[in-house]
Protein backbone atom coordinates (compact mmCIF):
# COMPACT_ATOMS: atom_id res chain seq x y z
CA UNK A 1 0.00 0.00 0.00
CA UNK A 2 2.72 2.50 0.94
CA UNK A 3 4.49 1.82 -2.36
CA UNK A 4 1.29 2.60 -4.28
CA UNK A 5 0.85 5.87 -2.36
CA UNK A 6 4.47 6.82 -2.98
CA UNK A 7 4.12 6.03 -6.68
CA UNK A 8 1.08 8.31 -6.87
CA UNK A 9 2.92 11.23 -5.23
CA UNK A 10 4.74 12.41 -8.38
CA UNK A 11 1.39 12.77 -10.15
CA UNK A 12 0.47 15.36 -7.52
CA UNK A 13 3.36 17.63 -8.52
CA UNK A 14 2.87 21.40 -8.39
CA UNK A 15 0.44 22.81 -10.92
CA UNK A 16 1.80 24.04 -14.22
CA UNK A 17 2.63 27.71 -14.57
CA UNK A 18 -0.19 30.01 -15.72
CA UNK A 19 -0.80 29.86 -19.48
CA UNK A 20 1.00 26.50 -19.61
CA UNK A 21 4.51 27.98 -19.76
CA UNK A 22 7.26 25.97 -18.15
CA UNK A 23 9.22 28.16 -15.70
CA UNK A 24 12.89 28.76 -16.42
CA UNK A 25 15.46 30.79 -14.48
CA UNK A 26 15.24 33.50 -17.17
CA UNK A 27 12.50 36.09 -17.61
CA UNK A 28 11.75 39.04 -19.83
CA UNK A 29 10.03 42.02 -18.18
CA UNK A 30 8.30 44.00 -20.91
CA UNK A 31 7.01 47.61 -20.77
CA UNK A 32 9.20 48.68 -17.85
CA UNK A 33 11.58 50.83 -19.88
CA UNK A 34 9.89 53.57 -21.92
CA UNK A 35 11.50 55.90 -24.44
CA UNK A 36 11.49 58.62 -21.76
CA UNK A 37 13.36 56.38 -19.32
CA UNK A 38 15.86 55.38 -21.99
CA UNK A 39 16.48 59.05 -22.87
CA UNK A 40 17.54 59.91 -19.32
CA UNK A 41 20.58 58.17 -17.82
CA UNK A 42 19.36 59.04 -14.30
CA UNK A 43 15.88 57.56 -14.88
CA UNK A 44 17.40 54.52 -16.59
CA UNK A 45 19.57 53.83 -13.53
CA UNK A 46 16.63 54.43 -11.15
CA UNK A 47 14.41 51.95 -13.01
CA UNK A 48 17.25 49.39 -13.14
CA UNK A 49 17.62 49.73 -9.35
CA UNK A 50 13.84 49.39 -8.88
CA UNK A 51 13.86 46.20 -10.93
CA UNK A 52 16.84 44.81 -9.02
CA UNK A 53 15.12 45.55 -5.68
CA UNK A 54 11.76 44.07 -6.72
CA UNK A 55 13.32 40.89 -8.09
CA UNK A 56 15.63 40.66 -5.07
CA UNK A 57 12.60 40.43 -2.77
CA UNK A 58 11.80 36.94 -4.03
CA UNK A 59 14.97 35.64 -5.60
CA UNK A 60 18.69 35.80 -6.13
CA UNK A 61 19.35 37.97 -9.19
CA UNK A 62 22.27 36.54 -11.15
CA UNK A 63 22.15 39.06 -14.02
CA UNK A 64 20.03 41.85 -15.50
CA UNK A 65 20.38 43.09 -19.06
CA UNK A 66 18.49 46.02 -20.55
CA UNK A 67 19.45 46.71 -24.16
CA UNK A 68 19.73 50.47 -24.54
CA UNK A 69 19.17 51.91 -28.03
CA UNK A 70 21.25 54.76 -29.38
CA UNK A 71 17.95 56.45 -30.25
CA UNK A 72 15.15 56.29 -27.63
CA UNK A 73 12.53 56.28 -30.41
CA UNK A 74 13.60 52.66 -31.06
CA UNK A 75 12.03 51.50 -27.76
CA UNK A 76 9.43 48.87 -28.58
CA UNK A 77 11.43 47.53 -31.51
CA UNK A 78 13.21 44.21 -31.06
CA UNK A 79 14.49 43.86 -27.49
CA UNK A 80 14.54 47.61 -26.75
CA UNK A 81 12.36 48.42 -23.74
CA UNK A 82 12.61 44.91 -22.31
CA UNK A 83 14.56 43.87 -19.24
CA UNK A 84 16.09 40.40 -19.14
CA UNK A 85 16.61 38.90 -15.71
CA UNK A 86 18.42 35.71 -14.74
CA UNK A 87 17.54 34.19 -11.37
CA UNK A 88 19.15 31.30 -9.53
CA UNK A 89 16.20 28.94 -10.01
CA UNK A 90 13.05 28.58 -12.10
CA UNK A 91 11.04 28.71 -8.85
CA UNK A 92 12.42 32.18 -8.10
CA UNK A 93 11.56 33.32 -11.62
CA UNK A 94 8.03 31.95 -11.20
CA UNK A 95 7.61 33.91 -7.95
CA UNK A 96 8.87 37.10 -9.60
CA UNK A 97 6.60 36.58 -12.60
CA UNK A 98 3.65 36.26 -10.24
CA UNK A 99 4.74 39.46 -8.44
CA UNK A 100 5.31 41.60 -11.55
CA UNK A 101 3.08 40.29 -14.37
CA UNK A 102 0.10 42.59 -14.90
CA UNK A 103 1.40 45.16 -12.42
CA UNK A 104 1.27 48.83 -13.37
CA UNK A 105 4.61 50.65 -13.46
CA UNK A 106 4.90 54.27 -14.55
CA UNK A 107 1.63 54.06 -16.49
CA UNK A 108 2.59 50.83 -18.24
CA UNK A 109 1.30 47.31 -17.59
CA UNK A 110 4.19 44.90 -17.13
CA UNK A 111 4.22 41.61 -19.03
CA UNK A 112 6.61 38.91 -17.83
CA UNK A 113 7.59 35.91 -19.94
CA UNK A 114 9.91 32.95 -19.40
CA UNK A 115 12.91 32.66 -21.71
CA UNK A 116 15.12 29.68 -22.59
CA UNK A 117 18.22 31.74 -21.69
CA UNK A 118 19.69 35.24 -21.56
CA UNK A 119 19.88 37.05 -24.90
CA UNK A 120 23.29 38.21 -26.06
pLDDT digits (tens, 9 = 90+) for 46-64: 999 999 999 999 999 999 9
Helix and strand totals (H; E) in the chain: 4, 6
Rounded to whole angstroms, the Cα distance separating 5 from 2 reads 5
Report the relative pairing of strands 26-30 and 104-105 from DSSP bridges.
Answer: unpaired
Report the alpha-carbon distance of residue 107 to residue 109 in Å, rounded: 7
Q: Give me the domains of the chain, ranges plus CATH numbers.
A: 20-115 (3.30.70.330)
- Phi, psi angles (nearest 5°) of residue 38: -65, -25
* pTM of the complete model: 0.80
- Spatial neighbors of 53 by CB under 8 A, at least 6 apart, are none
The arithmetic mean of pLDDT across residues 90-97, rounded, is 97
Amino acid sequence: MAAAAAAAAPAAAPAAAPSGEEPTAFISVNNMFTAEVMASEEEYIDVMQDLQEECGKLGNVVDIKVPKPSDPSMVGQGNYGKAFVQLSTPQEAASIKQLLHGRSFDGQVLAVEYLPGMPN
